[in-house]
Every structure is written in C-alpha cells, then in structure tokens.
Structure 1
Amino acid sequence: MQRSIITGTGAYIPAVVKKNEDFGSEGFYDVKHHRINQPVEVILEKFTQITGIVERRYAPDNIVASDMAAYAATEAILESQTDIETIDQIIVAHNYGDIKTNTIQTDSVPSLASRVKHKLGIINPYCVAYDVLFGCPGWLQGLIQADLYLKAGAAKKCLVIGTETLSRVTDFSDRDGMIFSDGAGACMLEAGEDGIERGIIGTAARSDCRDEAFYIDFGQSHSPDLNSSRRFIKMNGRKVYEYALKYVPEAMKDCLDKSGVPVHALKKIFIHQANEKMDDAIVKAFYKLYEIDNPPEYIMPMSIHWLGNSSVATIPTLLDLVRKGKIDNQELRTGDIVMFASVGAGMNINAACYRY
C-alpha cells in the first residue's frame, strides 16, 4: 500500500517573548465585566499551575501570519529538497487570516495559501493553493486531506502549513487570553513508493456542532472600558476541558485501532499544546481505554511551557523541534509509531498515526 511520507519540516518561532509577569498591569475582568478581586500574582501563579505556560511568543509588528507561513514552508521545502514547481497543493490552516498590528480586521482575501504561493515565487498554475479553517486541529486536518489526495493519485507533493497570530485577537483583560500565542509550522508530504512501510497509517476525525459549536468563538472584551463593537477570541474553558477529556481519547483510540498497531508500539504522542493539565489528563484517559494506568515516560513531548498555544502551529512546530533534536529527552527513530492528536473550535477533533 502506498503511504504518505513527511520528507521535510519547518517552523517559524517568533522572537518576541511575552512572560506571564508581563500581564495584568490593567487588571483582569470576568465575563460580566467585573474586576477580579485577586492579586495579579495569585492569578498568574494559578494560571501557570494549570496550563504549564511560563512564556509565549508573539510575532513582531511587521510580520503577519502569511509571512510566518512562508518562512516555515521554506524550511520544509529546503529539507525535503523539493523543486517548488513540482508542488501540487499548498494547504494553509489558520483561523483569522492576516491581521496587521493595531488593526481589528482579519484579512483572508486572497487566501493565505495564495499569498504563500506568491511569497514562495511558485509559477506553476497547477499548484493549487487553498485554506483550511478547522479550529486548532486545522494543520492536522490539512495533513489528513493531503494524505487522501496522495493516496488517490491526485497529487504527489503537498505542502501543509499551520500559521496564526492569536496575539492580535487576544483580550488582555481576560485571564484565558494568556494561553494564546503566535507561530507557524509546516511539512512537505509526499507520496511514497509502493511497499514503503513508513508514512501515515491511520486517521480519525469528528465535529460536534450543536451545543459545542460556540465553546470557542469571537466575543466582546471582558473590560468595561473597551469598544463594545470590537471582538476577541473567547473560550469557555470549563466546557472545552470537559469536551476534550470525554471525546479526544476516544478519537485517539479509534485512530490507533484503525492503524492496526498495538498501544504498546506507540512511541510518541504529539498532542495539541493547549493546556498541560488537560493534555496530561487526555493522554492518561487514552491509556485507560486500554486498561493501562500510567502512560510511558517521555511519551508526550511538550513545548507549551515556552511557546504557549499557537493554535494550528503547535503540532507542526513541536514535530519540527523534536525531529531536529531541540527538545530534551525527545527523539524519533526509524520505525517509531507516533500519533498526532488535536482538539479545537467547532468543536473539532482529529488524530493521525504515522510510522516514522
């Protein structure tokens, strides 16, 4: 059977560092616009204990999401030694388009994928460029789509990118806003030769769009002093946590079972970097489905402590860091079975198993 193989990865990690102690100078407010009467230091300490986030990265003022996407894509292209004119598809996952500093408008026309193709200088008209909006699991959904095109013989090389500047839609009067960050990650996915064992071996996805559809959405600032017409990314943290803990482990099991490999063969889980406490609980619940009490040591690489939640960029960035030996006690070896898993606005969940 023909497999889809990752032949190169890349990431753009912004240089601007935003530490936890940089927040709260104007105070935090709740959803009813009431000031939270707790010392900022207490709020920040509790935030760190729950999320694991100590600092995050924000894009420089002169950089937009499509710029970061092009940087990450260039790294993936160079590593894979790909002639850019042979790329069949450019798939860019994002949620808010390009947002310039100090503006309130998102810009997605033309698509970010078209902008990336332009920035890369690709002339080939049959290189099709399009965007995916799927919440935080967008990059992984793009990977799943690319895999289907490759297996169908409709493409041979697909460039899949996740990019986001969440700092520009963050309400800094909302404690939850401290989770979000900026960045971009990319991979080159190619059709492997028949008989090659490595590559994508199974996928799973689901969307729950009734009551769950608006757990993460756009809403008014918590601050009573900001323009009521301006909107920011908003999250019902408790609902998201409960939903993720209930359904993500099931999707992960579905994916692994479809892949036909035993859970003991799983070497790494690249999970969306949203909240360390939640990610730990999801992975533990996943192993419980196989009647295993404790996940293996080092099964879950983490970058959330210093990169925060960069939405669609978290998994491809984490993969790039591990592949290039930039995270302590984490490495990939030929033949390793790894899983990608993500959850986010929609609410959407997906997972993919890959033989490295």
Structure 2
Amino acid sequence: MTASSPRYSRITGTGSCLPPRRVTNEEFAADLAQRGIETSDQWIVERTGIRARHFADPAVASSDLAVAAARQALESAGRTPAEIDLIIVATSTPDMVFPSTACIVQQKLGVHGCAAFDVQAVCSGFVYALSVADAMIKAGTASRALVIGAEVFSRILDFNDRTTCVLFGDGAGAVVLEASDTPGILASELHADGRHVGILCTPGTVSGGQVLGDPLLKMDGQAVFKLAVSVLEDVARSVLEKAGRTEADIDWLIPHQANIRIMQGTAKKLKLPLERLVVTVDEHGNTSAASIPLALDHAVRTGRIQRGDTLMLEGVGGGFTWGAVLLDY
C-alpha cells in the first residue's frame, strides 16, 4: 500500500466460540413444564426455526467467549495478538459495568497499548462495530482490528416467560479486519430510532449497590417482527445502491439470526434463493451481537463462503437499531 493509494479494509480471518452446553427444545420444554409453563419443540420451531441453543457455565463471561473466538480469527488470518492495533467488542452482556469487555479481552490476549472499546447496539452490534472499524482503518487510525460480537444472554433471560427465554443463546464470533489496497467492505449504513426503546429492552440498572428496575429481557415480539421486516429490505437496498451493486451481486445473505421467518422474508424481498441464505438460528438461537459473526465463521469453515464472494450482513436490535454492510470476502 503506497501513501497515495486509496485505503480500504478487508476481512482476513474469522473465528467463533460456542459454549459446550447445548440445550435442545425438548430439554427446555421439560424444564419449563416443571414450573407449570407449557411449550414444545414444535411450538418453538414453527414460530422461530430454533431447535437448540448453547448456554455458558456460570463462571464463563462474555470476555472468555470473545477471547476464544478472537484466537481462532487471529489464527485464520495468520496474525498474532501483538499485531492488532484496535479491539472493538459488540456486546449487551458485558463482564462488568466498566471497564469495557474489550479492555478485558485485550488483557486476556496479553497485549496492551492499542485502542479497545465496546459498542452497544444489541443485535445490530456487530454491524455497528464492523462499520466503526472500517471507518477507522480507512481514516488511517488503525491497520489491523479485532472486531468481536460476544454475548451471554442466558444471564438476562426470564425463564418464566416462554415467549422470550426459548429464543436466545450464548456465543461469540470474531473477525480480523485489515487495511488493504483492494476494497473489501464496499458500503455500510447504520440507523436507530429511539421511539421504539420499549419494544426490546432490559430495563434495569445498578445504583447504590442494588439493581433498580427489572434486569431481565422484555420484548414485544409482534412489534419487533413488524419493524425488522420493514427496515431490513430498505437498508439492504440502500447499501447496494451506495456500492453500485444489485441484488444479483449478492452471493450470500448473512442476517442477524433471530427468526427464520424474518430471515427468509428478507431473502425473498431481495430476490435471493433461500440456498443463498446463511442459517444458524436453528442450532444457535438468537445470540444477539454474536449471531452474524458466528454465522459468517460457520459458513467459511464449512466451505460455503469462498474468497471473492460478495456478502450482505444485516442486523436489527433493541434501540431500535438496524444496519447493513456489503463486502467482498
């Protein structure tokens, strides 16, 4: 890369981490039945497409999952932690109030000195974090970034609410994003609408050593569904227009893994065959900010995504936030 050449960013490695404990719908239904709450594998699959999810052990934090995913991504990219000059972690379930989970990841990787911070945009978090890292690389303030989505949503679920507790899982995904002479990330777009704060939130906080409000996840499923369907198509088309591409140029659609009906609906609106939709929600559940990088790494490691493929990443989350990134892998 010469001083006068344009500066771009490309993904050079991917990684992921799922906790060993896999919880099937049947196990979930049996556990809820003991509390007098009725559900079934059929009920969950028909509404969401989810068949299983992974839960972390109590001693495992978001940073632990993030570090495991980061090490995989670094190995994939042929890089060491010492070569990284930016760490961004997207999470809604940080290890502590502060410092950031990114700083804890930095410490666990055994490096110091580079910028490290968290991004909080819930299920859109990885798209937000990737866009920020891309902008910093293009501006010349970073050259090699670790961008991670990591969540332990099992810690904030209300296991007496079958409409939400069956949806979410734990995990982490990561990418190494590096400066490049050739375009990788082609275009991105981020949005938020705070008028919809209440439809998906965990409305608790810490004050005076006690939890104020409700520390468990709350969701208006129908409202989230309607908003997600309406914004995902629009933001995808906007990003394609920015990049000078069309739907026909998309090789793989990697949406936030929340609900199979939303995902399939978006693919159909973009005129993409469902075979081009990367789906991991059936085995991972909704892992919030971790879902897109988890799905990306899975598709890369199983050989579906190849170098040169064009990918559309898009997410929606509490806030209400949404965004998309178009990239050449």
**Same-fold call, TM cutoff 0.5:** yes
Partner of 1:145: 132
| Match status 1:201 vs 2:192 | no
CA-to-partner distance for each residue in 1:239-291, whole Å, 9 max, x for gaps?
A: 00000111111001101111111221111001000011111112223x2xxxx
2:217 aligned counterpart, secondary structure: strand
Identical residues among aligned pairs (%): 33
Alignment of 1:152-231 (within 5 A): 152-175=139-162, 176-193=164-181, 196-197=182-183, 199-210=184-195, 212-218=196-202, 230-231=214-215
Partner of 1:308: 285
Displaced runs of 4 or more, over 4 A: 26-29, 227-230
Partner of 1:334: 307
Please, which of 235, 245, 248 is the counterpart of residue 232 of structure 2?
248
Q: Give the conservation status (yes or no) of the 8 Å contact 1:91–1:132.
A: yes
Q: Distance in 2 between matches of 1:134 and 1:15?
A: 26
Q: Distance in 2 between matches of 1:355 and 1:344?
A: 24
Gap change, CA 1:71 and 1:111, over 3 Å in 2: same
- Equivalent AA in structure 2 for residue 274 of structure 1: A
- Equivalent AA in structure 2 for residue 336 of structure 1: D
Please, which of 116, 119, 131 is the counterpart of residue 129 of structure 1?
116
1:137 aligned counterpart, secondary structure: helix
Q: Distance in 1 between matches of 2:247 and 2:265?
A: 17
Instruction: Tell me how far 1:3 sits from its aligned partner.
Output: 2.1
Please, which of 60, 64, 69 is the counterpart of residue 67 of structure 1?
64
2:123 aligned counterpart, secondary structure: coil
Please, which of 2, 8, 15 is the counterpart of residue 3 of structure 1?
8
Unaligned runs of 5+ in 2: 1-5, 205-210
| Match status 1:40 vs 2:39 | yes
CA-to-partner distance for each residue in 1:130-158, whole Å, 9 max, x for gaps?
A: 01001111111110000001111111111
- Equivalent AA in structure 1 for residue 174 of structure 2: A
Equivalent residues, number: 316
Q: Distance in 1 between matches of 2:238 and 2:62?
A: 33
What is the TM-score with the length of structure 1 in the denominator? 0.84
What is the TM-score with the length of structure 2 in the denominator? 0.91
RMSD of aligned C-alpha atoms? 2.0
Please, which of 96, 106, 112 is the counterpart of residue 117 of structure 1?
106
Gap change, CA 1:83 and 1:277, over 3 Å in 2: same
